[in-house]
Amino acid sequence: MTPTVPTVPLRDGGAMPLLGFGTWQIAGTDCYDAVRTALDAGYRHLDTATMYRNEAEVGRALRDSRVDRDEVFVTTKLPPREAGRAEQTLAASLDALGVDAVDLWLVHWPPGGAGEELWERFVAAREAGRARAIGVSNYVLGQVDRLTEATGVTPQVNQVSWAPARYDAAVEAGHRERGVVLEGYSPFKNTDLADPVLREVADAHGVTPAQVVLRWHVEHEVVVIPKSATPERIRANLAVGDLSLSAEEVARIDGLAQV
């Protein structure tokens, strides 16, 4: 049975699966095989980027999977060096992915300042139906606010590095107050999976510390996009949809924060 993955609503409509499949540093045949495995396992959220150079493999895996396009939430990102070629870069991404529109298009990094002019192009792309939702990545809240002040349009998502050790309640609350979905990447890179708290919680549920970390994101309604090229880990990461942590367990994991 395919695990259930909860979603989080996006401001201005639509919803985003809280657990997705990341493809950073996976290329060529490895990427194609990993995405096919993920889709076969039940993932319905794929994350890529222009700079990952694997959009074609992601798109081919999606087509070959025979999963209906409308069932899969697809994200790609614009590198800041292409800020002056936003429309052309999005067109290339859509062509490589083999889709008419992406579900989410992100500014991968601030292009020197908040990038107000670039953000206007993102707004235009959404209005044209080329991107169903738009957002940013690696932005601080002050930069998000500058985009809102300049255009009247607030990013729907901000994708940042996030993990128990990087948990910041004020940052999480600030995004929620603005109606911005917080999305975390590299959930394991900054996590000590041997930490006694994670091991104790994992043992209590008969799961792994990695699965606890992913479920912790979901409990906070923070989107998380683990990546792996190993079929067993790909399936294990998705299995957290059926896991549930208590409020006390979530609070204990919050306490691992080093900020």
Q: List the alpha helices (DSSP H) in the chain.
A: 28-41, 55-65, 86-97, 116-127, 141-151, 169-178, 196-205, 209-219, 231-238, 247-254
- Active-site annotation holds for 52: yes
* Residue of 32, 52, 167, 185 with catalytic role: 52
The rounded distance, in Å, linking the Cα atoms of 8 and 23 is 21
**Of 114, 102, 13, residue with least CA distance to 50:** 102
Q: Pick from 138, 93, 84: which is nearest to 114 by CA?
A: 138
For residue 222, give the DSSP letter: -
Give the dihedral sign, CA 124/126/131/133: positive
Catalytic residue numbers, as ranges = 52
